[in-house]
Structure 1
Amino acid sequence: MGRLLAIDYGKVRTGIAITDELQIIASGLTTVLTKDLISFLKDYITKENVDLFLVGEPKQMNNQPSESEILIIKFLEALEKAIPNIPIERVDERFTSKMAFQTMIDSGLSKKKRQNKALIDEISATLILQNYLNSR
């Protein structure tokens, strides 16, 4: 069984989370510059067995796609072309950034560490992945 890899796509940075091989535990992996994302993923799958990419789907409160969806669609097309053998699923990511920030507060991180946007992106990807695991 391979890992599940979640992506919290952003214009500048992208958070990435991964499961264990049994697909039970979601853990933050890293945050990468979005311009390097495809090459990072290509390299990662040469080292680890990945069964599925989960990509956050940002929606507004009225269930309409958010403005960033246009960028994500372009990324999805590039990802499918670059790594056609791994399926992609979308996961609703509403409120993950707010929940990530609250998680940082609840875990006692200092105000300075809570300003680390890369960490917020990584935690958001972990929440996307955990939501997916919980829904199965």
Structure 2
Amino acid sequence: MALSMDKLMGIQQHTLGVRTQRAELIANNIANADTPGYKAKGLDFQQALQQAQRGMENHKMARTHEQHFSVEVKPQGTEKFRTPSQPDTGDGNTVDVQLEQNLYAQNALEYEMTMNFLDGRISGVKKALGGQGR
């Protein structure tokens, strides 16, 4: 019987990639908290997960020459501007640092939970392949 990594990892492998993308967006928002005119971005998690499951997480364009740049095209529609939760301070920046920090902490916990789940699945398969657990 062949071992399918998709069946072994399930949706969790895609979830991990989307949580990574979400962490990058939130960190970018925090880094630009004092940038005038910067608009906070969020991630439509369900849409990003569906696209990742269909294999559309990142598209890489083929390089036809070794001196060409590597280009990645992100799928459309997963990143969205966040609705401001605080009044405009006059500089056009919509980042709420406390909200972003809370979202980052929540995402970090969810990322760790996903990693723990995958670790458990992999440990179970290693035991089964090694004949342990009898």
Give the strand-richer structure, 1 or 2: 1
Give the helix-richer structure, 1 or 2: 2
TM-score (norm 1): 0.27
TM-score (norm 2): 0.27
Which of the two has higher C-alpha Rg? 2
